[in-house]
Structure 1
Amino acid sequence: MPHEPQPQPADELDAEAVRTWSSLALAALGRAREDIDAINVYPVADADTGTNLYLTAESADRALTDALTDTAPASLSRAVRAWAHGALVGARGNSGTILAQLLRGVADVLGTDPGEPAGAPAPGPGGLLARALTRAAEEAYAAVAHPVEGTMLTVAGAAARAAETASAAAGTAVDVARAAYDAARAALAETPGQLAALDRAGVVDAGGCGLVAVLGALWQALSGQEPAAEPVAGPAAGAAAEPGDPCAREEEGPAYEVIYLLEASAEAVAVLRERLDALGDSLVVVGGDGLWNVHVHVDDPGAAVEAGVEAGRPYRIRITHFGDARRHGRGERAQRAVVAVVPGEGLAVLCGEAGATTVLVRPGEAPAAAELLDAVRRAHAREVVLLAGGAELRAAAAAAAEQARADGVRVAVIPTRSAVQGLAALAVHDPDGSFDEDVVAMTAAAGATRYGELAVAESRSFTSAGICQAGDVLGLIDGDVAVIGAALAETAEAVLDRMLGSGGELVTLVLGPEVPDGVAERLEAYVQHGHLAVDTVTYRGGRYSAPLLIGVE
């Protein structure tokens, strides 16, 4: 059940006020989402800023609701910290990542002791709120590698300065919130004069527009008064970047957006910032206390992920290719995209480099329909082919496809059962052909690919190939145990013999992170020796992938 906002007592900041603020902000972003998407021209005209802000706020609101519905006391500190953490783990895109850091700044003040010098009076709610908005703006600026004025950073800074002025005049929390909101609106109106890309398109900054909605929700939560509706003006007719304009970054910027959560020390993250800054642009790293959300635009997504691996433990890796959106013009949808669910960081990078939007699956953590729907929306296309990745994901994929169709996206789900089938389907993907023909060809390629997998038995059990003991290597073919062996290479050879017994032209090997290169070389030689007309290709599945996946086409 969504939280029903309740009027707050004047000049009071408590957990219920934060909960009301969150609920109202989510509702405001939901109403403005499509309009904000439509004016998104900087730093990349991929028309998803409104959606990214909404999804980030939704994750934050969900975490806040969960924190306030258990048995723990509903304190202000608990509320703001849960809210900020939810935004951090669910941040989407450049704007959502900055919003997450803004909420972290708020939590750093409202969630801790104000720390006044001995004998000094504690600040009232107005002073505390002003400090929180100031800290939020400072931390957001610090999180962005190269801050640019005319963006939501500018709007946040203007709001913070106005809040401090109102607080210095002994303003209440309501006064401070209203001053911040009014200043944000004024700053937003000035953004086209600060950023050439906005001026050419005849729009205000999309991220700043979303932040105004969030600050309007703050004032409403504290005052009980609803801000007047402010329509979002769309792009000026005929506005477009001129050829060769250095600000037209949607035409010349990096091809991929890479986002991941990272468990790492602050020292390792400092080194990571330098590495990623050299790889691309739009770098934003937010978080702290060992958990970070990393966002960057690069041409080499593999290098960006590898940098994260060297810094700590990256997960929830999302790689989005927005070359299609650039080719189809400012803010327009690509005609067709592929969303692939993959079990392994290496496979996610591989599919991302092939142009697919990826969803990484970790063992025991199958993505829900909401995560698949998010990936479909991130693909930003009129038509989407969804490679579901396994039988256990079919229900979630079907639900995501149904919701995407309600949003006006044509979606086809290809029921792959293994990552190697997804690779086969992606290899024949033809974005320039008809949608139906493309889906038929990809489905046929997936269906014609027999799949095998090697796994290690965790306990003694009965299988279709007999009784296995803990530690045995199991060779599965099309989902059933066909071979039980003692060593991975020998078991893989037995599986290959069975799979190639009925013919084949191409063997695909996907090696897990612990499998040495020598195993791949041995299996390639084995196939070449016994099946002269069969080619072999080998990939690294990366962390979270199975020890070995085999595909035979």
Structure 2
Amino acid sequence: MAPEDDARMDGRALMDWARESVRALESHRDEINALNVFPIPDSDTGTNLVFTMRAAVSALDDLVASGPVGEAPGVHQIAVVLARGSVVGARGNSGVILSQVLRGLAEAAVGEHMDSAGLGTALRMATNLVSDAVSYLVEGTIVTVLRCAADAIAGIDPGTPVARTAAVAADAAAEALVRTPMQLEVLGRAGVVDAGGLGLVVVLDALVKALSGHAPDRDFARFRPRGNLPAAVARRGDSTPGDHAPGDGAHAHDHAGHDHAGGDAQGMDFEVMYLVSRTDDTGIADLRERLDALGDSVVIVGDGRGSWSVHVHCRDAGAAVEAGLGAGDVRGIRVTSFLLESHRSGEAGRVSHRSGEAGRSSPVLPSPEDLSRAHTRPERRRRGVMAVAAGDGAAELFTGEGATVLRCDEPITRGQLLGAIRKMERSEVLVLPNGALPAQELVAVSAAARDSDHEVLLLASSSMVQGLAALAVHDVSRDAGDDAFTMSEAAAATRWGSLRIAAERALTYVGTCEPGDGLGLVGHEVIVIDPDPRRAVRRLVDLLLGTGGELVTILLGADAPAGIGGELTEYIEHGHPGVEVMVYEGGQPGDLLQLGVE
């Protein structure tokens, strides 16, 4: 039986679809990016979709690596993992909505296979999830395209080959995409289709290819804007021209949740995204209400397993983060400038360079002189990395990797961090805070540091060992947003712990510690208490390596017990064969040592 005649989809086909989606989105990334005209014509929808789907596939790869060799998990198990990975790694509105397509699959899948009826249920559930997630729906967007795909296969015969059903859904999505310029006025004025909607068609076509062996033949070139975008669209008519900071750019792509006045992101300075856990439906409802009062384009989606991805455009980034802190545990905070300060009189606007393309339209088209200056920018204006570090050895490690170091042997203030960033005289600054300041303080620093000449991106590093892992993959030749995302991924993939000595009697999650006890922490939580610090750190190592690892980085503190580095190296080599160990003299106060596991 040919693949296209199969009545059901199995786990292997679903895995093929996830990976084919990444390849297809990468292939069409530039086409999708070029379509953004609302609210400003320079964005990264294709990039956001690629990174979101990559995050889903990365979670899938972890699942496959941990399972029996040669066996493919069932549809339900795969769909759940894809949904969770995409929610955690979602970038921008369209990435958030794509995560709900995957969650719809997870909610509809009940076993090892999925038939045509199940696929229809999945798209319907995805539509409902997105409709619930977006505060104010706008027609002519990715949400419209998704709904039309779901409507096309509603009530389909379960015996219909699933490849044929997928093709019907993809064709319906493509037809809906063509109608988006007639539904959303700004698209019609520009003569383009919705960028997020095109991304969804690409993903559905990838499903068809995974199930049948061949993708639908579509003329995507006809969706490209002809020449420069119309001046009325490029200047947004009723607003002061402004630069859009490079990076996520998600506010401009799919417009699924813009302000209920029916307009754009006018007046909103920041895009804020983060993940919330340890909350419930009531907490999320209260969070949505608070964010609706703070700004617009509010989208909150869950992975069905207790984690929520939050997105909002607002003027007060700190208040948006504080709202999340009131709802539950917040992590993965990302703040992007939405509308930078107005241009100086006569200034033509910044030129954006992405994926090797020069001269793409800015909010105001650049002059030849502007282009020349962009290509001859002095070396001192290139990207730099600011790392917060404690201890002479740790500072030397970061400096040796090209970072500018702000010492935090004593507690630092946000004013000190802001001043250090400004002294760097770099147009793009990636900040590795390494746990030195709380999230709300960092958001305030990032917001204050940005201006028309500087883009500041905060990376999610909670310790120096995570910061070192992030710095190892730093690549100045990449787009700043891509570089920051890759570095943040490296930091997040590094499990970290530390060894401390209890200063006083205290109650922890694992019992009561006495003064002088060795405390083993994973992240910020005590998980080991032992009167012998050397024994405590060995137990900590076993726990950190219990879920695997290939490299352990040990950063020795100023008060580390003599010889502890060599002892731990020998212990790991004997107890965990194949794991590489790197030991450095950090010299940091407080932690006797920090451990990073990659």
Summarize deviations over 1:362-385 as a string: whole Å, max 9, x none: 24772xxxxxxxxxxxxxxxxxxx
Q: Are 2:286 and 1:271 equivalent residues in the alignment? A: yes
What residue number does 1:63 align with? Answer: 59
- The equivalences for 1:104-123 within 5 A come to 104-111=103-110
- The equivalences for 1:322-341 within 5 A come to 322-324=338-340, 328=349, 332=362, 336-341=427-432
- The equivalences for 1:91-130 within 5 A come to 91-111=90-110, 125-130=115-120
Judging changes above 3 Å, is the alpha-carbon distance between structure 1 residues 360 and 65 closer, same or farther for their aligned structure 2 residues? closer
What residue number does 1:243 align with? Answer: 237
For structure 1, list consecutive stretches of 5 or more residues without a partner in the other structure. Answer: 1-5, 115-123, 367-389, 414-454, 461-467, 473-478, 483-545, 548-553
CA distance in 1, matches of 2:480, 2:320: 33
RMSD: 3.7
CA distance in 2, matches of 1:98, 1:156: 10
| 1:348 counterpart letter in structure 2 | L
Q: Are 2:82 and 1:83 equivalent residues in the alignment? A: yes
CA distance in 2, matches of 1:326, 1:113: 56
Judging changes above 3 Å, is the alpha-carbon distance between structure 1 residues 22 and 113 closer, same or farther for their aligned structure 2 residues? closer
Q: Are 2:442 and 1:348 equivalent residues in the alignment? A: yes
Q: Are 2:6 and 1:10 equivalent residues in the alignment? A: yes
Q: 1:20 touches 1:221 (CA, 8 Å); kept in 2?
A: yes
User: Residue 314 of structure 1: which of 330, 341, 347 is its match?
Assistant: 330
Summarize deviations over 1:395-435 as a string: whole Å, max 9, x none: 232xx32444999x9xxx9xxxxxxxxxxxxxxxxxxxxxx
Judging changes above 3 Å, is the alpha-carbon distance between structure 1 residues 393 and 142 closer, same or farther for their aligned structure 2 residues? closer
For structure 2, list consecutive stretches of 5 or more residues without a partner in the other structure. Answer: 240-260, 344-348, 351-359, 365-373, 375-426, 451-455, 488-497, 504-514, 520-555, 560-588, 591-598
Partner SS for 2:273: strand
CA distance in 2, matches of 1:331, 1:152: 23
CA distance in 1, matches of 2:283, 2:158: 43
User: Residue 396 of structure 1: which of 446, 451, 473 is its match?
Assistant: 473
Judging changes above 3 Å, is the alpha-carbon distance between structure 1 residues 471 and 107 closer, same or farther for their aligned structure 2 residues? closer
Judging changes above 3 Å, is the alpha-carbon distance between structure 1 residues 228 and 159 closer, same or farther for their aligned structure 2 residues? same
What residue number does 1:301 align with? Answer: 317
- Aligned-residue offset at 1:331: 5.8
Q: Are 2:163 and 1:174 equivalent residues in the alignment? A: yes
CA distance in 1, matches of 2:311, 2:23: 25
Partner SS for 2:78: helix
User: Residue 458 of structure 2: which of 358, 363, 380 is its match?
Assistant: 358
Give the alignment's TM-score, normalised by structure 2. Answer: 0.58
CA distance in 2, matches of 1:31, 1:84: 22
| 1:156 counterpart letter in structure 2 | L
Judging changes above 3 Å, is the alpha-carbon distance between structure 1 residues 358 and 45 closer, same or farther for their aligned structure 2 residues? farther
Judging changes above 3 Å, is the alpha-carbon distance between structure 1 residues 17 and 310 closer, same or farther for their aligned structure 2 residues? same
Partner SS for 1:323: coil
Q: Are 2:302 and 1:259 equivalent residues in the alignment? A: no
Give the alignment's TM-score, normalised by structure 1. Answer: 0.63
- Aligned-residue offset at 1:8: 6.8
Q: 1:43 touches 1:282 (CA, 8 Å); kept in 2?
A: no
Judging changes above 3 Å, is the alpha-carbon distance between structure 1 residues 364 and 289 closer, same or farther for their aligned structure 2 residues? farther
Judging changes above 3 Å, is the alpha-carbon distance between structure 1 residues 195 and 258 closer, same or farther for their aligned structure 2 residues? same
Partner SS for 2:330: strand
Q: 1:60 touches 1:87 (CA, 8 Å); kept in 2?
A: yes
Judging changes above 3 Å, is the alpha-carbon distance between structure 1 residues 221 and 341 closer, same or farther for their aligned structure 2 residues? same
- Aligned-residue offset at 1:471: 9.2
Partner SS for 1:296: strand
Partner SS for 2:154: helix
Judging changes above 3 Å, is the alpha-carbon distance between structure 1 residues 56 and 89 closer, same or farther for their aligned structure 2 residues? same
- Aligned-residue offset at 1:107: 0.9
Partner SS for 2:130: helix
What residue number does 1:491 align with? Answer: none
CA distance in 2, matches of 1:326, 1:75: 53
- Aligned-residue offset at 1:301: 0.5
Judging changes above 3 Å, is the alpha-carbon distance between structure 1 residues 98 and 365 closer, same or farther for their aligned structure 2 residues? farther
Judging changes above 3 Å, is the alpha-carbon distance between structure 1 residues 79 and 8 closer, same or farther for their aligned structure 2 residues? farther
Partner SS for 2:301: strand
- Aligned-residue offset at 1:112: 6.0
CA distance in 1, matches of 2:340, 2:14: 40
Summarize deviations over 1:98-135 as a string: whole Å, max 9, x none: 11112101110014699xxxxxxxxx711111111111
CA distance in 2, matches of 1:303, 1:66: 35
Q: Are 2:32 and 1:33 equivalent residues in the alignment? A: no
Summarize deviations over 1:18-45 as a string: whole Å, max 9, x none: 1011111111100011111111223554
CA distance in 2, matches of 1:406, 1:313: 25
Judging changes above 3 Å, is the alpha-carbon distance between structure 1 residues 67 and 280 closer, same or farther for their aligned structure 2 residues? same
CA distance in 2, matches of 1:286, 1:297: 16
